[in-house]
Structure 1
Amino acid sequence: MAPILNIQNLYKSYGSVEILKDINVTIEPGDFLVLVGPSGCGKSTLLNCIAGLEPITGGSIDIGGQDMTHVSPKDRNIAMVFQSYALYPTMSVAKNITFGMKVRGVNATMQAEKLAEVAKQLQIEPLLQRRPAQLSGGQRQRVAMGRALVRDPKLFLFDEPLSNLDAKLRVEMRTEMKKLHQKLNASIVYVTHDQIEAMTLATKIVVMKGGVIQQIGTPSEIYNKPANLFVADFMGSPAMNLIPARVHKDASGSRIEIEREDGQSLVLNDAHHTNLPEDVIIGLRPEDIAEAGYRQGDDVQSAVCLVDVVEPAGADTYVVSKLGGKEVTARLHAETNATPGGNLTFAFDLAKVSYFAPKTGERLN
């Protein structure tokens, strides 16, 4: 089966300014692909190129096995949901949803059937006679999604659709979108700057920076094996701890030496990675630094550290220390006895460690 979307060697420039550089992305039927990155990274521009709203400078875009590089948006068999909802204020919800079908000449019976089907899926049946001004933000977003769903397109495009909602409603709508995707098995390209949104929704994530793809992978791959320092720092909340260290090799493997504030060194022994350079940056997620006694295993090593900050967060407590001149966050259990200014024995899980080259930022293991 042909990929639903195949982008090859795509470039986008405005004059001499390159916005997108050599973009190559493929998604299969049923994929939920999320484009994520900081503001200005090019993710919305890429979505607009897929939609045909922006002409590309070079490369090609295939949708459903057909070359759509220079095809107008209306003929690409896509549906787009915008951040602003873009609803017609004078029309009822029902007319907003069916308007596109009416313009395309779909008969009234088919319009009614599609409207009933989508209204049931999105649980907006009681709202069909209301106007947009009478709806909450979450309800408006459902109507905008309904307008896209009735098209039954090959590809759905979402441009930061939840960014106008409050925090609680965003979490609820993420769950609804996840359910909807699982039910419809739709092919989706979704843009967000929120890495939590990306991790929870995606089957595949594209991390972008400065118009360049940094990594493509499943949420697990992106989180556990970031390709470089940017991905490690951007994906995760709190971010991955990135600690400068020196490597000393001996017969038993690599001895990882990290400077502490007291002028002494914290030493971790890694028997698995023997080909590391002399200078590295160690990456450990906060949950991979536990309080001694709460993490077991052959690769778990303990060391005493001075606690700088304690941040209770309900089910977890975040404890911040300073290692290698960097603030290092550990995600501990809620009942920890850690106190600012006190010592605490941490357990570092080296089975989960990532190593990066300080100069290039590239992953080493």
Structure 2
Amino acid sequence: MSPILEINNLYKNYGSTEILKDINVSIEPGDFLVLVGPSGCGKSTLLNCIAGLEPITSGSLKIGGQDMTHVSPKDRDIAMVFQSYALYPTMSVAKNITFGMKVRGVDQATQERKLAQVAQQLQIEPLLNRRPGQLSGGQRQRVAMGRALVRDPKLFLFDEPLSNLDAKLRVEMRTEIKALHHNLGASMVYVTHDQIEAMTLATKIVVMKGGVIQQIGSPSEIYNRPANLFVADFMGSPAMNLIPAKVRKNGAGTHIEITRKDGVPIVLTDTKTENLPEDVILGVRPEDIADPAVRIGGHAQEAECLIDMVEPAGADTFAVMQLGGKHVTARLHAETTARPGQLQKLAFDLGKVSYFAPDTGLRLN
């Protein structure tokens, strides 16, 4: 089966300024691809290049196996959902949804059938006679999605569709979009700066920075094996702890030495990793630093840590300490005995840690 979207060696310049640099991405039919990164990383520009709203400087772009590099947006068989909804204020919800079909000459019976279908999918049947000004933000975004769904396109494009919604509604709409993808089996490309959205929605994530792809992978790959320090720090909430450490080798394994705030070294023994340089950045997720009583597994290493701050958060308690001169967060049990200013024995799961080169930031293991 050929990819539904294939981008090869794509560059996008504005004058002498490179915005996108050697972009190579492909997705299979039914994939949910999320482009994620900080503001200004080029993710929306890349989406606009896929849509044909921005001409590319060099490279090629195929949709459904056909070269679309220089094809106009209306001929690309795509549907786009924008951050701003872009609804016609004087038209009813029903007319907003069917307007594109009417312009393309779709017969009335088909328009009505598709309208009824998407209205049911999005649970907006009671809203069909209202105008956009009478709708909430979440309802408007459902209408914008409905307008895209009636197209039955090869590719759906979403440009930060939830960024105008409040936090609770964002979670609800995120669930709806994921359910839509599951039910339709549609191919989707979704832009967001929110790494939680990326992790929960995607089958494949592209992490971008400065117009360059940093890593492509499944949510699990991105989270558990970040390719570099940027991805490790950007993906995850709380972010991965990145701790300067020294490597001391001996016959029993690799000793990882980290300095506590009081100057006392913590020594962890990693029996599964070899050939590390003397200086490394140790990457460990907060959930992989735990109370010894709840940490199970053969790679757990216990060490006494000096706690600076304790933050109760319902089912979890976050403990903050300084290791290697960096603030480090541990996700502990709600009933933890950790207290500020005290030494607390914690278990580090060395089966899940990452190592990075301090100079290049690249993954070592």
The number of residue pairs the alignment matches comes to 365
SS in 1 for 2:338: coil
Residue in 1 aligned with 2:239?
239
Q: Which amino acid aligns with 2:95?
A: K
Identical amino acids, percent of aligned pairs: 80
Residue in 1 aligned with 2:92?
92
What is the CA–CA distance in structure 2 between the aligned matches of 1:29 and 1:127, rounded to whole Å? 32
What is the CA–CA distance in structure 2 between the aligned matches of 1:297 and 1:91, rounded to whole Å? 60
SS in 2 for 1:293: helix
Residue in 2 aligned with 1:11?
11
Which deviates more, 254-263 or 186-195?
254-263
1:135 Cα deviation after fit: 0.6
Q: Which amino acid aligns with 1:257?
A: E
Q: Give deviations 1:39-62, integer Å, cap 9, x for gaps.
A: 000000000000000000000000
SS in 2 for 1:352: coil
Matches within 5 A, 1:219-234: 219-234=219-234
Residue in 1 aligned with 2:215?
215
Matches within 5 A, 1:111-126: 111-126=111-126
Q: Give deviations 1:160-205, integer Å, cap 9, x for gaps.
A: 0000000000000111111110000000000000000000000000
Residue in 2 aligned with 1:261?
261
What is the CA–CA distance in structure 2 between the aligned matches of 1:262 and 1:166, rounded to whole Å? 43
What is the CA–CA distance in structure 2 between the aligned matches of 1:263 and 1:120, rounded to whole Å? 63
Matches within 5 A, 1:1-365: 1-365=1-365
Q: Which amino acid aligns with 1:2?
A: S
What is the CA–CA distance in structure 2 between the aligned matches of 1:93 and 1:99, rounded to whole Å? 10
Which deviates more, 338-347 or 18-27?
338-347
1:139 Cα deviation after fit: 0.5
What is the CA–CA distance in structure 1 between the aligned matches of 2:23 and 2:298, rounded to whole Å? 42
Taking structure 2 as the reference length, the TM-score comes to 0.99
What is the CA–CA distance in structure 2 between the aligned matches of 1:223 and 1:286, rounded to whole Å? 12
Q: Give deviations 1:184-233, integer Å, cap 9, x for gaps.
A: 00000000000000000000000000000000000000000000000000
Which deviates more, 19-28 or 294-303?
294-303
1:338 Cα deviation after fit: 1.6
What is the CA–CA distance in structure 2 between the aligned matches of 1:140 and 1:309, rounded to whole Å? 43
What is the CA–CA distance in structure 1 between the aligned matches of 2:14 and 2:353, rounded to whole Å? 41
1:259 Cα deviation after fit: 1.0
What is the CA–CA distance in structure 1 between the aligned matches of 2:259 and 2:341, rounded to whole Å? 18
1:297 Cα deviation after fit: 2.2
SS in 1 for 2:35: strand
What is the CA–CA distance in structure 2 between the aligned matches of 1:150 and 1:327, rounded to whole Å? 50
Which deviates more, 251-260 or 73-82?
251-260
Q: Give deviations 1:84-125, integer Å, cap 9, x for gaps.
A: 000000000000000000111111111111101110111101
SS in 1 for 2:169: helix
Q: Which amino acid aligns with 1:198?
A: A
1:2 Cα deviation after fit: 1.4
RMSD: 0.6
Q: Which amino acid aligns with 2:308?
A: D
- Which runs of structure 1 show a deviation greater than 3 angstroms over 4 or more consecutive aligned residues? none
Structure 1 unaligned residues grouped into runs of 5+: none
Q: Give deviations 1:122-159, integer Å, cap 9, x for gaps.
A: 11011000000111111100000000000000000000
